[in-house]
Amino acid sequence: MGARAVCGRDFQELEAPTFGNLLRRLRDNRGVSRERLAFNAGVSASYIAHLEKGDRGNPTREVVEALARYLNRLHPLSTEDRRQLGDLAGLGTGGLPSARELRAAVTPEMKRTLELHSPNMAGLLDARANLLASNGSWDAALPGLTADGNMLRWFFGNELATRVIVHWDSDARRIAHWMRGLIGRSGNADGFTELIRELGKFPKFRQAWSEGGVEFAPHVWTLHLRNPVTGARRKVVAQTGWLDSGVHHGQLLTVLGLPV
């Protein structure tokens, strides 16, 4: 276990999920040719090739549904893959404000609300896991995160995270899969390119990312934490929800940690 960066000539950049590479993976997994998929979806094989290469605009809802129907007939699509196809085609929400814009949208009242949750952990994040605001209990429970500013980079790149998160190895895989779901939801994979490039330096992230799995984070999940100084463990229930800031609808994620 660890969070050492990869270096050397064998390093290859990781790809952000796109409609094209997801379609190609689903097609390859079913052993179906572009021509056969195109015929059954009512489009041309060259159009499928363009979609997979990413040099065409987003397909219409009708095309996405036709592709999904045929792929599902060959082998059932998971709920996650079906939803990810729609998200990456731009059928979900769109737009991805910068962390600076979102931090500016955090009002003094929001910050006071976070503090009112003390001694429970409370924080505000964006879709890329940038920490926008937090209370003192959050900062104490996740040392080093506030200084880093990004929960994913802290998790995979800070040795403290491996001591604080009790089930770091298994949580790493789950978080990488959740990240794919968030990218689809954002409707803007390009906005994650730099973060994925950074995280690609860390072996555990590369391993989990290369699986290609996608999951969607539940609104309530359990987190096991350890005090890195005393070794004392505690279990918290994390409750999450998207907050309407009034300026950036659905871009602020609230996380509240309640003791079990």
For CATH 1.10.260.40, the residue range(s) in the chain are 19-88
Q: What one-letter code names the amino acid at 191?
A: G
For CATH 3.30.450.180, the residue range(s) in the chain are 99-259
Fold annotation for 19-88:
434 Repressor (Amino-terminal Domain) (1.10.260)
Residue 104 has a pLDDT of: 87
Rounded distance between C-alpha atoms, residue 23 and residue 18, angstroms = 8
Residue 244 has a pLDDT of: 63
Full 3-state SS string of 97-130: CCHHHHHHHCCHHHHHHHHHCCCCEEEEECCCCE
**Comparison of pLDDT for 249 and 197, the residue scoring more:** 197
28-41 pLDDT, tens digit per residue, is 999 999 999 999 99
Instruction: Tell me which CATH code domain 99-259 carries.
Output: 3.30.450.180
SS3 of residue 225 by DSSP: strand
Average pLDDT score over the chain: 87
72-131 pLDDT, tens digit per residue, is 999 999 988 988 898 888 875 555 678 888 888 888 999 999 999 999 999 999 888 999
**Comparison of pLDDT for 55 and 162, the residue scoring more:** 162
pLDDT class for 17, splitting at 50, 70, 90? confident
Rounded distance between C-alpha atoms, residue 79 and residue 94, angstroms = 20
**CB-based contact 79:98 (threshold 8 Å):** no
Residue written as token pair 């802290």: 154
